[in-house]
Amino acid sequence: MEKRLFMKGNEALAYGAIKAGCRYYFGYPITPQNDIPEYFSRHMSKVEGCFLQAESEVASINMILGASAGGARAMTSSSSPGVSLMQEGISYLAGSELPAVIVNVTRSGPGLGGISASQGDYFQATRGGGHGDYRTIVLAPHSVQEMHDLAMLAFDLADLYRNPLVILADAVLGQMNETLEDRPYRPLELPPKDWILTGASGRKPNLIKSLYLKEGEMEKHNWKLFEKYQSMKKEIRYEISRAEDAQMMVAAFGTSARVAKTAIQIARAQGLKVGLFRPITLYPFPDQALLDLSRRVKKFISVEMNTGQMVEDVKLSVARDADVHFYGHPPGSPPDPEEVFEAIKKVY
């Protein structure tokens, strides 16, 4: 039976990362994720790791690139505007096939926006975000336990696929305090890192790059990346609850899913048969699972803290004869369970 801890989401994530062998953190302060660099500043030296506050997010992501090329488990964290700054670097990581973990503790936007939670970065996270034809794995925790557990999983998935991975959290998850089980890190089976840059001693030189100028190379590289992203579908994770007799499913991730759980309790208490479909991997998106569900359940409502992003993926996934509705609560504060229940009731 594991020890129970009481931690803030941001710190639980950092704690999980260190457990999974993350020994390099480069980041820059931005509200609401400062607890993450601050945690690393206190703890990295205790595990002989490296914490460095970079001069900006642009510098941070490029430091990650260097550390990853050297074979290290490296992580950075930021929030929306800072993640925008990292997009060029993330594109480079993807093109160079380098593992890295990037945490986005989403705040409000666009622009300077505000420091309260939102889910307005769903598109940015799941559609590559930067230039070029690439994807990052996207994990969406919805509790402090998941902030911890998914941080551990993140490094393994990034290494397994040699790809950048985004943990898409939000200001509420980052700041809230909850109990969690101090679960151990259980590594996946991973291939050796024989491609890293350590000095070509006794082997042919390794090269980390994303530039392909020769005839046919670029096309080949892009298809290679495409095949990799297809193979990532084995990593799809989601949670389905109360679906057995459901007439309608709420689709939600992160903090919206937490609120939706309560809204569904209210609905159930009033006799409405509603269930929850909660994607945990936003990329690859659990489209097959949604399609299967929609053969029986014909009404969906996507509940998000934005003006309509994941709903597009829900619409793309479900059967043609299923209705998909949307309830959006843009940034400012998370929605109340009561208002989500009202939205559910309206289309039930």
Give contact residues for other proteins (rule: CB under 8 A): 28-31, 34, 37-38, 41-42, 45, 51-53, 55-58, 81, 112
Min dist. Cβ of residue 288 to other proteins (A): 40
Nearer to other proteins, 51 or 341 (CB): 51
Nearer to other proteins, 83 or 180 (CB): 83
Q: What is the DSSP letter of 236?
A: -
Backbone phi and psi for residue 180, each to the nearest 5 degrees, phi listed first: -150, 160
Nearer to other proteins, 45 or 198 (CB): 45
Nearer to other proteins, 58 or 243 (CB): 58
Residue 135 CA to residue 147 CA, distance in Å, equals 21
Backbone phi and psi for residue 157, each to the nearest 5 degrees, phi listed first: -65, -40
Q: What is the DSSP letter of 42?
A: H
Nearer to other proteins, 52 or 347 (CB): 52
Nearer to other proteins, 53 or 262 (CB): 53
Residue 53 CA to residue 56 CA, distance in Å, equals 8
**Alpha-carbon distances of 95 from 186, 207, 209, 294, rounded to whole Å:** 29, 12, 7, 36
- Tokens, residue 265: 């309790």
Q: Establish whether the linkage from the previous residue to 29 is cis, with ω within 30° of 0.
A: no
Nearer to other proteins, 37 or 99 (CB): 37
Compute the C-alpha angle 54/84/34, nearest 5°: 45
Q: DSSP letters of 256-277?
A: HHHHHHHHHHHHHHTT--EEEE
Residue 149 CA to residue 144 CA, distance in Å, equals 9
The CA R_g of the chain, rounded to the nearest whole Å, is 20
Do the beta carbons of residue 190 and residue 125 sit within 8 Å? no
Q: What is the DSSP letter of 86?
A: H
Nearer to other proteins, 58 or 319 (CB): 58
Backbone phi and psi for residue 56, each to the nearest 5 degrees, phi listed first: -170, 175
Min dist. Cβ of residue 234 to other proteins (A): 38
Closest CA to 102 of 160, 49, 63: 63
Nearer to other proteins, 54 or 139 (CB): 54
Those residues whose C-beta lies under 8 Å from the C-beta of residue 224, and which sit 6 or more positions away, are none
Pairing of strands 248-251, 177-181: unpaired
The helix or strand, by DSSP H or E, that contains position 280, with its residue range, turns out to be: none
